[in-house]
Structure 1
Amino acid sequence: MDSHSPSPSLLQFKSAQKTQSGEDHAAIAHGVPKDWKFWCIIFSLALSVLLTAVEFTAIGAALPTIIRDLQGLQFIWVGSAYALGSTALVPFCGGLTQIIGRRPIMLSALFLFALGSTICGAASSMNMLIAGRAVQGLGAGAITSSVQIMLSDLVTLRERGTFSGLMALSWAVGGGVGPVIGGSLAQSGHCADLNLPICAFNATLVLLFMRLRTPHATLREKLSKIDFIGNLLITGSTTSIVIGLTWGGVQFPWSSASVLVPLVLGFVGLVAFVIYEFYFCKPPTAPILFRLDWTGTSGYLQNFVMAVVLASLSYWYAVFFEACKDRSPSGAGVDIFGLSYSISLIAIIAGVVVKKTGKYLAPTYIGWALMVVGAGLLTTLRADSSIAKSVGFQLVIGGGVGIIYVVSLFPILASPLRMALYVFSRNFGYIWGVTVGGAILQNELKKNLPASFLAQFPHGVQLAFSAIPTIPTLEQPLKAEVQNTFGEALKVVWQVVLGVSSAGFVSSLGMRQLQLHTNIDEDWGREDIPIPIERRPSSDMEMLPANGNLSTRESPAPA
């Protein structure tokens, strides 16, 4: 044998190394292995989503009782503070997860959420409750952003629909039991919070199993990638808009400076954010936004609109059953089960369909058609409408929301910064759904509630809203007048939902069908899965049009 020839043992070693590399490569090309550790991570993510859903939806059924007990004048802020807080930290999360890793951010988010829950449980005034809800929202926003980012680390884009469906199921379970839990606690006057032990259990799962890689770089290099000015602009702008919408028509007239100034400053701030990102910021908070074609932009718009509709339904549908159907807070929570579980079931089905076919255009159009039809049906509801109608209509619009909840992701490329922007657009939509719906209710009730009823509330319609639990005890014909007024006020909310849903359908037109990749970014993912020697392109580079050519907005992957 030639002395320079490789020995049999060396050849065997190289062959084994090549085989192992190929197996690892194949594992990454089709997502990480779905072993028990993987499912423990997925369970912890789903549990995190459930926590945020319970808190987001529980307040709707309990709100009238809370207002009555705490005598608060700004009840919309109980919902708006949570939605606003959940949006504020999202732009930072993409950068922060790049700097210190996924797990520390998730643990910090759970801590903030638990802290906010503690403040809410101990609240003795409306201001303290609003503060607690804002802290909860900060944690919830970081949780939601981290969940989507980590899904992009663990599963391929084509698989994402199925796992987004699982997250939607978690949301639906939380959204379903949330109103019942909130209503039951409100009825009993018990302020104990179940979130703390669940947060502790979830944090333990995160510590044990969520061991994900973080690319190596100096702290200075990582910090240079965070757009502090852009984040401050977008956070300040959204806060200013929420203030104007919340005060408008109730605390101050719409034409007053107290309303117009925050609204103008907010929208000017959003324009300044776009200009700053486009011309001055390197790197920008939203770098992908300015390189997207209509398909990608449409994904963000649809995600935003879906969130407006979902928040409006989650917060204000229970009011219909309490105010118009003499339901208790917990009973109203049960009555909206149709909405919650139609969302989850259809979301899972939509995810499986996209995974099997690789196509998302047809499900998108079906989803928006269901939402438009469902919203149209809701506008026909009156105080004397049958329970069968009010429950059945939920199934139609809930099915549409479930489809769009999942498929709006696919037109968007799935890097951490893109996912942070994706979550931001969704949470920003939640703000509009809660705030606009509440503003409509306040204004309509202020104009149309019977004078003899309003006279009982010298502080205004905010406290009149707290009278919902007492409506069953009113004498006729006052009871019927009050119930009809609430029914007509909610009709206006559903008309706005119909208009918004129609806008979402229009925004979906003109999208292209893109090829969904079947690999994940090797820089991230589980620490216990070796990185193969032969590196593949990152997930950002694998989104190709259906014709196989690279999109004009992406660079070709390196050889």
Structure 2
Amino acid sequence: MEEISNVDQNILKDNPMNSENKEQHIETAKETLKKSIDAVNVELSKTRFFLVILALIVSLAMSSLDISIVSTALPTISDQFNSKDEYTWVITAYMLGNTSFQPMFGKFADIFGRRPVMIFALVLFASTSAICGAAQNIKMLITARGFQGIAGGGILGMTNIIIADIVPLRQRSMYMGVVGAVFAFTSVIGPLIGGLFTEYISWRWAFYINVPIGVIAVIVIALFVNIPTPPETFLEKFLKIDFLGTFLLVVSVVSLLLGLSWGGSKYSWSSLTIILLFVGFSIGFIIYLLVEWKVAKEPLTPFQIFKNRNVGLSCLISFTLGIAFLGFTNTVSLLYQDGRKISAVMAGLRLVPQSVSISVGNIGSGYLIGKYGYVERYMRIGGFFLIIGSYLVTLFGTNFKYIYEFFILIVYGMSVGLLLQNTVIITQQSAPKKFLAIGTTLNNFFRLIGGVFGVTLVGTIIANKFPAYYQEQYPNDIVTVNDVHKVIDGEIYYTKAIQTSYRFILIPSSIITFIFTLFYGFVPGIGNRKKELEMNEKKLKEMEAKPKEIEININNDNNNNNNSSNDTIDISNDDSKITDLSLNSSDITEKN
């Protein structure tokens, strides 16, 4: 036991927080926040960091381009293979693989490690690209495209996951913005590049070009992505895979996507085939949820992740944003090419302002969020202007001047840019660290599913409204969307049908997106930093208010012993050693 004399009685009685100590709390809180913002899971040298980021961006551009690069090559492919009734499956197969397997890669990244899963995705993508380029018939091409889509989905998910591991939070929003910009830009220039390959070289080089790029990316990732992998043996890792959940999710999602793709085109919505597909999806998905909840030891979709409100909101926003953004981007070419008879190349060039403004919104908001925080504000601003942009694109008529379209596309693209990747980083910051990979891929999954819904709903409304508008003027004529260029003023009524579909789909989904942004809670590191600073300071005070038990006895001895004029304090702390006797007021509690 130690004795301390001449202790200030005021400190013991009132335990005040003096100004110097308060400043120390504030500085400590600031330092805590700074460390959380600047911390990384895996630190790389500048050279390695640059090479890895470059490899990730190139890999993402490669996989994203292949979603749309073949669209302008499809007529040539269908003529060469004599497959007018099957050629659309070249795109559909890719989207099925890309979307259905998206959640799996998040879990595989946790089980097998980041580097092995990314290398697997790149090798699969490069090899299936070679097979696509060498395809001898349409069935061979479609099959290879399905596996290429699986690999492309893995590259998209793993890019976001690896960036979260190697980039500090202060800069992560900006790098995520670059990822979003690449995804948006390639979706626009894909048809343009595909048209150039088809016209001047061969459609096969739209696939062959991926092989050398993929090989280089594999080498860079293998050499420089030194992210630790789980220590178990391959067999132990393999047995962790949720095979039943994987099977049920893939079957369910494929049934849903086929129903949405075939409904109203290949089959009527009331046909037995479409009904069975939707019933199969419903039953399969319910069983999947039960398996994830009660059976799976390593579930693909752990329900705990949705206990955080921000994670659920981000997934919902990704879904509704996918409806609005991908629903518009993937159908506006119909307005330009079929409604106005503009070439595919010129249609792609007209959308360049949108892709550029998406890039600016993504990267600009990422930089500002990394520097100042307040990600919720950018989400709400983006949601608000998405409503305005969605309304303005419904004005794109047959004779609408492009100068107006130019500025409207900038507004629309900027609003999307403020939302697109910020949902991912909010999920990464809000979810428990062990669910970072799963949360990332879930966001991508919901966005892609939303895109399929958006395209399907827009297409369905066009298919119904075009004949209805035409028959208002020509009641004796029976037409379908396939007759756009065969009937009088078909382009005018077709454009009007597209405008109506945008009013029914884009505007409501944009309003819902904005409403969801209003309910975000506190986001660590990238949210309200003033509030986070106060929270850290409060935690420090609470921690210092609960030290190890210190028994303080103040003895006022009236006897004429030594030091009788002094107060003595007995401090006992079990076996702990006291090395600093200059206690602050917050370090002492008076025990009565």
TM-score under structure 1 length normalisation? 0.78
**Pick from 98, 105, 108: which aligns with 2:110?**
98
1:183 aligns with 2:191: no
The 5 Å alignment of 1:392-411 reads 392-411=407-426
What's the offset of the Cα at 1:41? 0.4
**Pick from 469, 482, 489: which aligns with 2:490?**
482
Q: Which residue of 2 aligns with 1:150?
A: 162
What's the offset of the Cα at 1:180? 1.1
Q: Which residue of 2 aligns with 1:330?
A: 345
Q: Which residue of 1 aligns with 2:553?
A: none
Alpha carbons of structure 1 residues 441 and 403: separation in structure 2 relative to 1, 3 Å: same
Q: Which residue of 2 aligns with 1:491?
A: 499
Matches of 2:133 and 2:460 in 1, distance apart? 26
Q: Which residue of 2 aligns with 1:367?
A: 382
Alpha carbons of structure 1 residues 204 and 151: separation in structure 2 relative to 1, 3 Å: same
1:258 aligns with 2:273: yes
SS in 2 for 1:286: coil
Q: Which residue of 1 aligns with 2:175?
A: 163
Alpha carbons of structure 1 residues 125 and 215: separation in structure 2 relative to 1, 3 Å: closer
What's the offset of the Cα at 1:301? 0.9
Matches of 2:456 and 2:533 in 1, distance apart? 38
Alpha carbons of structure 1 residues 396 and 325: separation in structure 2 relative to 1, 3 Å: same
Which amino acid in structure 1 is aligned with residue 318 of structure 2? Answer: N
Matches of 2:127 and 2:498 in 1, distance apart? 34
Matches of 2:349 and 2:68 in 1, distance apart? 12
1:374–1:397 contact (8 Å) kept in structure 2: yes
**Pick from 64, 67, 80: which aligns with 1:56?**
67
Matches of 2:144 and 2:534 in 1, distance apart? 48
What's the offset of the Cα at 1:29? 5.5
Q: Which residue of 2 aligns with 1:421?
A: 442
**Offset from partner CA, 1:253-296 (integer Å, 9 cap, x none):** 21121111101221232232223222332232111555423222
**Pick from 243, 246, 249: which aligns with 2:264?**
249
- Unmatched runs of 5 consecutive residues or more in structure 2: 1-33, 472-478, 540-592
Alpha carbons of structure 1 residues 545 and 515: separation in structure 2 relative to 1, 3 Å: farther
Q: Which residue of 2 aligns with 1:267?
A: 282
SS in 2 for 1:143: helix
What's the offset of the Cα at 1:241? 0.8
**Pick from 71, 81, 93: which aligns with 1:81?**
93
Q: Which residue of 1 aligns with 2:249?
A: 234
Matches of 2:523 and 2:492 in 1, distance apart? 48
**Offset from partner CA, 1:298-339 (integer Å, 9 cap, x none):** 011112222333322332222222223332221111111012
What's the offset of the Cα at 1:62? 4.9
- Larger displacement relative to structure 2 (36-45 or 489-498): 489-498
1:360–1:513 contact (8 Å) kept in structure 2: no
Which amino acid in structure 1 is aligned with residue 524 of structure 2? Answer: Q
Alpha carbons of structure 1 residues 402 and 59: separation in structure 2 relative to 1, 3 Å: farther
Matches of 2:77 and 2:461 in 1, distance apart? 20
Matches of 2:55 and 2:223 in 1, distance apart? 10
2:306–2:312 contact (8 Å) kept in structure 1: no
Q: Which residue of 2 aligns with 1:432?
A: 453
Alpha carbons of structure 1 residues 182 and 437: separation in structure 2 relative to 1, 3 Å: farther
**Pick from 398, 402, 409: which aligns with 1:383?**
398
**Pick from 512, 515, 528: which aligns with 2:521?**
512
Alpha carbons of structure 1 residues 268 and 434: separation in structure 2 relative to 1, 3 Å: same
Alpha carbons of structure 1 residues 209 and 34: separation in structure 2 relative to 1, 3 Å: closer
Q: Which residue of 2 aligns with 1:110?
A: 122
SS in 2 for 1:514: coil
1:197 aligns with 2:197: no
Which amino acid in structure 1 is aligned with residue 449 of structure 2? Answer: F
What's the offset of the Cα at 1:42? 0.6
What's the offset of the Cα at 1:28? 10
SS in 2 for 1:411: helix
Alpha carbons of structure 1 residues 302 and 26: separation in structure 2 relative to 1, 3 Å: closer
TM-score under structure 2 length normalisation? 0.74
Alpha carbons of structure 1 residues 144 and 330: separation in structure 2 relative to 1, 3 Å: same
- Unmatched runs of 5 consecutive residues or more in structure 1: 1-24, 451-457, 519-542, 551-559
Matches of 2:511 and 2:191 in 1, distance apart? 28
Q: Which residue of 1 aligns with 2:84?
A: 72
What's the offset of the Cα at 1:390? 2.9
Which amino acid in structure 2 is aligned with residue 427 of structure 1? Answer: L
1:307–1:426 contact (8 Å) kept in structure 2: yes
What's the offset of the Cα at 1:39? 1.0
What's the offset of the Cα at 1:86? 0.7
2:423–2:443 contact (8 Å) kept in structure 1: no
Alpha carbons of structure 1 residues 169 and 247: separation in structure 2 relative to 1, 3 Å: closer
1:135 aligns with 2:139: no
CA RMSD of aligned residues (A): 3.4
**Pick from 271, 280, 294: which aligns with 2:309?**
294
2:249–2:285 contact (8 Å) kept in structure 1: yes
Which amino acid in structure 2 is aligned with residue 498 of structure 1? Answer: I
Give the structure with higher Rg (CA): 2
Which amino acid in structure 2 is aligned with residue 139 of structure 1? Answer: A
**Offset from partner CA, 1:99-137 (integer Å, 9 cap, x none):** 433223222212222233334434565544433332221
SS in 1 for 2:195: helix
1:355 aligns with 2:370: yes
1:88–1:235 contact (8 Å) kept in structure 2: yes
Alpha carbons of structure 1 residues 43 and 65: separation in structure 2 relative to 1, 3 Å: same
Q: Which residue of 1 aligns with 2:354?
A: 339
SS in 2 for 1:49: helix
Alpha carbons of structure 1 residues 85 and 101: separation in structure 2 relative to 1, 3 Å: same
Moved over 6 A (4+): 25-28, 446-450, 543-546
Alpha carbons of structure 1 residues 448 and 195: separation in structure 2 relative to 1, 3 Å: farther
Alpha carbons of structure 1 residues 301 and 157: separation in structure 2 relative to 1, 3 Å: farther
2:176–2:425 contact (8 Å) kept in structure 1: no
Matches of 2:136 and 2:464 in 1, distance apart? 28
**Offset from partner CA, 1:450-498 (integer Å, 9 cap, x none):** 9xxxxxxx9x86xx49xx9xx6xx8xxx5x6232133123224422122
